[in-house]
Amino acid sequence: MQEFQRRNFHVSRHPVASLILRRIGLALVTLLAVSVVVFALVQALPSDAAEALLGQNATPQAVAHLRQELGLNEPVVARYFAWLARLLSGDLGRSLANGLPVSDLLRDRLANTLFLFLVSATASLPLALLLGLACATWRGSLFDRVCNIVAASLISSPQFLVAYLLIYLLSVSWGLFPSSADIRPGMATQDKFYVAFLPAVTLCVIVVAYMLRMTRAAILDVLGNDYIRMAILKGVKQRRVVVHHALPNAIAPIAIVVALLLAYLIVGVVIVETVFVYPGLGQLLVDAVGKRDIVVVQAVSMIFATAFITFNTLADIVSIICNPRLLYPRA
């Protein structure tokens, strides 16, 4: 009997594992396709990398010699496969602008971006969940209407506009925080929090606005079920209905939204870092594009693409685990 139950258990798990493996395989294929797009777009930059590095006064002989050294005279397809082989082996190459290994350039910048990402995610996700629960609990109230209006306004506003408004209010007008995030190696943690406050708030504002509305919608959708109505008819308080009955059943869509917003956070830092001159991967990417440092551009772009695809794949996996009906799609 136990052996029969064990076999049935493994059989029941097989469709889920198979679907998850297919999602992971699709993510790898997507990442390979993104690598092709990234390489093609970098090669299509308006000016030649050798001319950009040497300057306008460079002689044709010097430009030709540098092109030969950089391998720019090779066919595009050969250059792509050579770059892909180095990337898979962990060799990110050397910067064309200063000759340093790209991995050395990325080390501190990646740490700064992860710091900003973790601070923003840690602050925004619980706040958005609490506000979404409050709006669902007191739906139709003045608090609910104000939160929805503010959230809709923030979602429709460009991220750079939110950043400049925060700079004007909290830095220029009130002088509470610096307008540029000058994070240096060896800086104390509390100083990092102070310097990174405005970039983190900019990211938090957009994430809270999105997740508030999605959390509220997910919980209100659950509140329309029959068992919720029965609990209300029995006299259960609205707050208990939302927290103890609706929220556990709304975890699946909320978890999917969280994964997608984390993907948005890790990619959305490019604009924020550029506005606040934050020394992270986003600022490094913008600087590398300006210098035509194609090696750095390709490396940073692939890091962002990998993070974005990873979080989206996690969202798919969470939806598969939380919603078994996806195993049996309608014909």
Question: Which of the residues in the chain have pLDDT under 50?
Answer: 1-2, 4-5, 8-12, 331
Render 178-232 in DSSP notation, one character per residue. -SS----TT--HHHHHHHTHHHHHHHHHHHHHHHHHHHHHHHHHHHTSHHHHHHH
CA distance 93 to 277: 25
Domain boundaries, the chain: 2-88, 109-327
- The structure's pTM equals 0.81
pLDDT in the model for residue 150: 92
pLDDT in the model for residue 145: 93
Q: Which two tokens stand for residue 165?
A: 């408004």
Alpha carbon 316 to chain centroid distance? 15
3.40.50.10490, 1.10.510.10, 1.10.3720.10, 1.20.1560.10: CATH of 109-327: 1.10.3720.10
pLDDT in the model for residue 248: 74
Render 58-84 in DSSP notation, one character per residue. --HHHHHHHHHHHTTTS-HHHHHHHHH
pLDDT in the model for residue 327: 58
pLDDT in the model for residue 6: 52
pLDDT in the model for residue 198: 93
DSSP letter (8 states) at residue 92: -
Helix (H, G, I), strand (E, B) or coil at 94: strand
φ and ψ of 145, to 5 deg:
-65, -40
- pLDDT tens digit sequence for 133-185: 888 888 889 999 999 999 999 888 888 899 999 999 999 999 899 988 888 87
pLDDT in the model for residue 240: 79
